[in-house]
Structure 1
């Protein structure tokens, strides 16, 4: 049984963390599986949106402590470094990634969710960076992404205390986009994926670049970057089709695959 399973269905790549007996904890197989997902999305231009969830009662409860307890310092660093690289590559994918958080998203699991473009949480979900309780700190972007999402004061509190927060609290803080009934989680994620899938793939790619990369720039540089991407989008075939369809009062028919 693979630690990470995935299947493509009509342009949506459904990904499932599949170590429920270990609360989908992160081990080397997990990291390799997530790397395979990223490479599949890169190579298969039919993929328009990715939806990630977990099997069982956890999205991902963090690192496999047993594995790390048996690892040397260098081996532990290599594993967490590779996870960090995979998450950065996932952020840089041309297609949006939706995290459908079904349960615990703790430690590395919270880091995985934060690297996704949109987070939809079940009412049963919880989030946190509890590494401090083990005498360590987050190592795959937890301190950095959390501070950018909820503000550095709240991120400092959460990382220093190791406390978990509920889905509702995560929503209030701006960590998640939406909280839904547990039984409707995948349906809601799929509904959102279908909406995004109906848009211009080229424009979707440029929006993701503008938000993710521009957010790391100064406001002035980000606006200039956005303007450059706007110019690129305006000269695309999708823009030509979208504008023509609007004038002709019909639904735009964007190309299905990314270039």
Structure 2
């Protein structure tokens, strides 16, 4: 599948998706979001892909935000549709995906870029990365899930501070408040993401999917996350991977999971 604004490469069971608009600091326009949707949907359906790493081209930006030039002529209806469509075709697809997604944040992650990273299940940042939600400086608020996911990650008070001040965080600050999981030297960013993903992919694939679903249902309106956990826990007992995991434990050997 050929794309114009993203690069897709598969190494082993890891699929790399790189936003490739370096001269625009990898800003997300409508076309890029559509391409991301196609690539992500295909990756989640593919039996050969175990997990996804998302990053940005170059060394300056992961994604420096949405393409603001597309906002100028929108009215209330257009703005509402923009946010709803973006959330449904990309950000929620990532967050609710049945395979792990790691954001390798290699520079600026601002506005929609930080929202993209927050939709991923794990975030690793290079030491030069800077993050923030500057939308209020444009007379807007985050529209791709930022108000909700930032609050879940760092708490209500800190989320409000960051959104209302529009301040940028260094990678070290982001690590300190729990916005990212790890900070590494820039040259170590993708190797660290690969190392973590390969460790994850050594685990049982169906159990990974159940864990993601259960964690996602934490504090979700009208959904009892504890009940989700109970149901997903029970489903695991019906998998061949569970039988393999128990057998490997009893036989003191490494399990060979098949995702069945």
TM-score for both structures, normalised by structure 1: 0.93
Aligned length: 256
**Pair 1:247-2:250 in alignment:** yes
1:190 corresponds, among 189, 194, 197, to 194
Matches of 2:222 and 2:29 in 1, distance apart? 36
TM alignment of 1:119-130, pairs within 5 A: 119-130=123-134
2:40 corresponds, among 38, 44, 48, to 38
Matches of 1:43 and 1:229 in 2, distance apart? 20
Matches of 2:229 and 2:199 in 1, distance apart? 23
Matches of 1:215 and 1:238 in 2, distance apart? 29
Matches of 2:221 and 2:82 in 1, distance apart? 29
* 2:218 match: 214
2:237 corresponds, among 234, 239, 248, to 234
Matches of 1:196 and 1:247 in 2, distance apart? 22
Secondary structure of 1:69's aligned partner: coil
Q: Which runs of 5+ in 1 are unaligned?
A: none
| CA deviation after TM superposition for structure 1 residue 32, in Å | 0.6
Query: Could you give the per-residue CA deviations for residues 154-189 of structure 1, whole angstroms, max 9, x where no partner exists?
Result: 111111111100111111111111111111000000
**Pair 1:101-2:121 in alignment:** no
Query: Deviation above 6 Å: which 4+ runs of structure 1?
Result: none
Secondary structure of 1:193's aligned partner: helix
| CA deviation after TM superposition for structure 1 residue 84, in Å | 0.9
RMSD: 1.7
Matches of 2:221 and 2:226 in 1, distance apart? 9
| CA deviation after TM superposition for structure 1 residue 218, in Å | 8.7
| CA deviation after TM superposition for structure 1 residue 76, in Å | 4.1
* 2:7 match: 5
**Pair 1:166-2:207 in alignment:** no
Matches of 1:202 and 1:217 in 2, distance apart? 25
Matches of 2:160 and 2:111 in 1, distance apart? 14
* 2:179 match: 175
Greater shift after overlay, 77-86 or 22-31? 77-86
Query: Could you give the per-residue CA deviations for residues 15-70 of structure 1, whole angstroms, max 9, x where no partner exists?
Result: 00110111111111111111012211232121111000001210001111222225
Q: Which runs of 5+ in 2 are unaligned?
A: none
Secondary structure of 2:28's aligned partner: coil
**Pair 1:79-2:82 in alignment:** yes
**Pair 1:90-2:89 in alignment:** no
